[in-house]
Amino acid sequence: MITSSTVTSGLPASSTVANTSSGISTGSTSPTDPSLLSQNFNTFLTLLTTQLQNQDPLSPLDTNQFTQQLVSFSEVEQQIDTNNNLQTLINLQNASQTISALPLVGRTINYSSNTAPLSGGQASFSYTLPTNAIAATLAVADANGNVVYTAPAATAAGLHSFTWNGTTNTGATAANGDYSLSVLAANSSGQPITSTITAFGQVDSVNVTNNVATFDVGGVSVPMSQLLTIQPSSN
């Protein structure tokens, strides 16, 4: 409870309000956090009302400071409303993306990742070499990082496709699951060449968390942001 002695025996009225408007916080909450802004705004109104009720008649609150403080906290209130409206727009956009993702169930997509599911005897990838390589090797690793298959890779600059049939270096058939492709390439000077790898897979379902859609591609979780292309329907 704020009393008359609290206001008159401490700092001057203008100093008290200035401290409130500075958004001082001893915790880890950001000064722009909506809950903190709202709390400070309510505190300001409480202090201001108390100051007006208990101001010294011989030395009233300076009208210029009073106006500046009202303008300052009016801007804070507008910022709170703006943040709330922006969050609403973000939620609407995420919901729209989720709805647009649902028809992709059952379709094959190309996505930005080097991990693809091995299903039905194949795992499909593509890789792009930015320059010609003097030597290049493909390496397929399982979910534990163990390399199960290696083969020579194309060395010409450009886009190349690679479909693995699940046969390992030992001649065994790999179990269905997630497998990652690496491309080890070098130029004529022996310097490594970094390739860009993408993967293909069929969307089994769309999972939605906090209004954000994620594709389940044969057990591989693919954020919607990684979607590159949608393959033509076989129908």
Question: Can you tell me the distance from the alpha carbon of 180 to that of 145, in angstroms, rounded to the nearest whole number?
Answer: 8
8 Å CB contact between 126 and 181: no
Identity (one letter) of the amino acid at 40? N
Identity (one letter) of the amino acid at 104? L
Structure tokens at 176: 């269905």
- pLDDT of amino acid 226: 93
Mean pLDDT of the chain: 78
Task: Look at 225 and 128; give whichever has higher pLDDT.
Answer: 128
Question: Can you tell me the distance from the alpha carbon of 151 to that of 129, in angstroms, rounded to the nearest whole number?
Answer: 16
Position 50 confidence tier, pLDDT thresholds 50, 70, 90:
confident
Tell me phi and psi for residue 50, to 5 degrees.
Answer: -65, -40
Q: What's the CATH number of domain 105-230, 3.40.710.10, 2.60.40.4070, 3.30.470.10, 3.30.2350.10?
A: 2.60.40.4070
DSSP per position, 39-108: HHHHHHHHHHHHHHHH-BTTBPPPHHHHHHHHHHHHHHHHHHHHHHHHHHHHHHHHHHHHHHHGGGTT-E
Q: Are strands 212-217 and 205-209 parallel, antiparallel or unpaired?
A: antiparallel
Query: Would you give the distance in Å from CA 110 to the centre of its chain?
Result: 20
Task: Look at 168 and 212; give whichever has higher pLDDT.
Answer: 168
Per-residue pLDDT tens digits for 136-152: 999 999 999 999 999 99
What is the dihedral angle through the alpha carbons of 219, 225, 229, 233, rounded to the nearest 10 degrees?
50
Question: What are the structural domain ranges in the chain?
Answer: 4-101, 105-230
Per-residue pLDDT tens digits for 176-220: 999 999 999 999 999 999 999 999 999 999 887 766 788 999 999
Would residue 120 be called left, alpha or beta, if left means φ above 0 and alpha means ψ between -120 and 50 degrees?
Answer: left
Reported pTM: 0.59
